[in-house]
Structure 1
Amino acid sequence: MSNVMDYSGSGTNQEIDDDEGSVLPGCVPYLSLVFKMITTTVILLLSGWVVYTIKTTRRLHKPHNIFVANLLISGMITTLTGFLIASTVMVSFQLGVEPFITCIAVKLRLLPSLANNFSLAVIAGDKLLAMVYIRTFPFKYKKIMTPRLVAGIVSSVWLLAIVPTVYAVAFNTDGYVMVPKYGACLANDNAFLEVVFVFVIPITVTPILTISLNLIIALKAYQAHQQIVYLQEDNTGSEMMKSLRQLQCNIRQNMKPVITLLVVVVSGVSLNLLFIIVYLLGRFLVDSQVYHEFMEYVIRPNSGYVFRFLQPLVYGLYFKQVREPMMACLKRFVRKNKVNSVAPQP
């Protein structure tokens, strides 16, 4: 949902020296690096907390939560590698050392980034499958979603992400330029088609597919609710009504994860659309070098950190089934540290 590579109308040089001609204040690269460091730390801590909670809480060992863990792990890898690459390049530039990291290495971040985006669609598809079978064969879903199948789906997500990554790394190696002062890698005009097919389409199609699947789930839940209301008015037998109320309860349990996913996806889509609108309008309406450099070198490289912060925040704080075990894990950790701190030292 966020850009791994940034597109620019720059020339074909392999490196841009920003020391000459840049109108941004000299503190901007340092502030950008601090922002990356803070958000990376928060994302790793919060995502790791959610993943650890899912791993250690037996009742959370369900397909949905496994897919959520895969989403957060891929987001952690994308965030950490992005920070390490950017900070290494920026520090090397400030020290006057030739950076040993090129744009080819930066493009490797496409693998966890695509896996992160694909995981959103997988979570939506899983809930759609659960919703379909809840209305027909409630126990068939559990038989279908075996641990082996769940592991296969997670593996397929990463294998699917490998294809565009290999293409991006193997071809068009001259289509990108490094901006070492900001630790950014920008695509030039020669990489336009690659940016569209390898970067833009996957990060655009995935949220659209995810939102569509969630709308189908919401429609099915509404249809089930209407059926229950109709049967209540028709004074249908108690056995059927009991069965339908159980169905309604199961649907409500599945709707909470669906709403959680919608919050994540819609928030990410809204941020991306806001950035695209501001960026495109700025290119045509704003005649300011400061504005364009700030958008290219600061906003674009850092926008992905904001979205990946939303994922553990929503799943860890909004999703009650995960939030409560998380708080329990935190209390155990604090209690254990207090015991160790007051224990007599030998």
Structure 2
Amino acid sequence: MSGMDYFGSGTNQEIDDRGSVLPGYVPYLSLVFKLTATLVNMLLVGWVVYTIKTTRNLHRPHNIFVANLLTSGILYTLSGTLLSGAMMIGYQLGVEFFISCDPWKLRTLPFYVSITSFVIIAADKVIAVTSPFKYNRTMTPRVVTAIVGGAWLLAIIPTAYAFIDGGDGVNEVPEYGTCSFDGKGYAQLVFIIMIPTFVASILTMILNIYLAMKAYQVHKQIEKETKLSGHNSQSDNLAALKKKQHRIRQNRKPIITLLVVISGYIFIALFFIPVQVLGRLLIDSQIYQDLMDYVVSPNMELVLQFYSVLVYGLYFKQVREPMMKRLRRLLRINKFNSVAPQP
């Protein structure tokens, strides 16, 4: 999920007839980074999704929603890399406008699925904690499939709007495999990408804060009930509260994981946007402007994708342990095959 890169660059400045002032090898370095980072992200996402699919005790709504989040995220970054690479290769071959900016709008589909998935994951944990019995009866595999499918179907609406609204204010920058925008294009960026990203992030944070407050309230109620009952563990009310607390603890790790991902996104955005805006105002250097516009900003989505899959793959213990188990098993098989005597 990246609200900073819709058509590939967050700028209203075009490369003029003289071209970019950056050295000629910079576009190649940017393309190599895109390809390498995309490959690494694909391998990590594939590893996490495969682990969730093949591990029976991970077949839970939360993990299915996480797999959908990571899948939509890698589709977003992969499509961007393919379009950017095709545009840059076409430019080097002399076909300056080999790909227009219209295909970039297709990336609105996986983008919206990604930001919707964050809200779905947070809402899923709220329902699991506050209404566990209703949750277990309701969240059947069919319902989970319908939720995932619904997220993709709803994402078609803003994608269609991006095409219907036209391409005014969007200009190809084939040398760097991206698009710049101004006027109507920038307004479209704000309306279709930035505002929904902000709303989804805030809503996800609110749901997580609500769960944190719920956990604190249950903890205080247990303390109060323990004092009133004289440490009598047979108190029905105390037993019910401890069940609530146990349920919250069971869901604590997924909640914290989601909070870490969202907080990281917000921190990166809060750090990157002022650097870009203030740098544009304070640093009177065309090299800096071109570097931020055509290299740093378009590649930021790859960093965010890597961050999210790293958190879910390594920080989330329930997924990390079976991932490592499969890796060790694969290494043992390869080692055995390499030392096995040949007939």
Aligned-partner Cα distance in 2 for 1:38–1:7: 22
* Amino acid aligned to 1:195: L
Retained in 2: the 8 A contact 1:75–1:116?
yes
Aligned to 2:224: 230
The 5-angstrom pairing of residues 178-327 of structure 1 reads 178-234=172-228, 235=230, 237-239=232-234, 240=236, 241-327=238-324
Equivalent-residue separation in structure 2 for 1:114 and 1:27 (angstroms): 34
User: In 2, are the aligned partners of 1:92 and 1:99 still within 8 Å (CA)?
Assistant: yes
- Cα deviations by residue, 1:101-129 (Å, 9 ceiling, x for unpaired): 21010111111112111111110110111
Decide whether the 8 Å contact of 2:6 with 2:189 is kept in 1.
no
Matches within 5 A, 1:122-161: 122-133=120-131, 138-161=132-155
Structure 1, gaps ≥5 residues long: none
What is the Cα deviation at residue 345 of structure 1? 5.1
Sequence identity percentage? 53
Question: Is the Cα–Cα contact under 8 Å of residues 179 and 186 in structure 1 kept in the other structure?
Answer: yes
Partner of 1:4: 6
Question: Is residue 112 of structure 2 the alignment partner of residue 114 of structure 1?
Answer: yes
AA of the residue aligned to 1:278: V
CA distance in 2, matches of 1:175, 1:131: 47
Aligned residues: 337
Quote the residue 1:337 is aligned against.
334
Superposed CA RMSD = 1.7
> Distance in 2 between the 1:276 and 1:311 partners?
19
Q: SS of the counterpart of 2:175?
A: coil
Match for residue 44 of structure 2 among 43, 46, 51: 46
What is the TM-score normalised by the length of structure 2? 0.93
Secondary structure of the 1:268 match is: helix
Q: Write the distance in 2 (CA, Å) between the matches of 1:281 and 1:98.
A: 32
Provide Cα deviations, 1:211-264, integer angstroms capped at 9, x if missing partner: 111001111111111111111222264233344333222211111111100110
CA apart distance, 1:9: 2.5
- In 2: Cα distance, 1:232 partner to 1:38 partner: 57
Following the alignment from structure 1 to structure 2, what is the Cα–Cα distance between the partners of residues 298 and 131?
A: 43
Q: Distance in 2 between matches of 1:4 and 1:336?
A: 43
Paired residue for 1:72?
70
Distance in 2 between the 1:26 and 1:98 partners? 16
Mean Cα displacement is larger for which, 188-197 or 198-207? Answer: 188-197
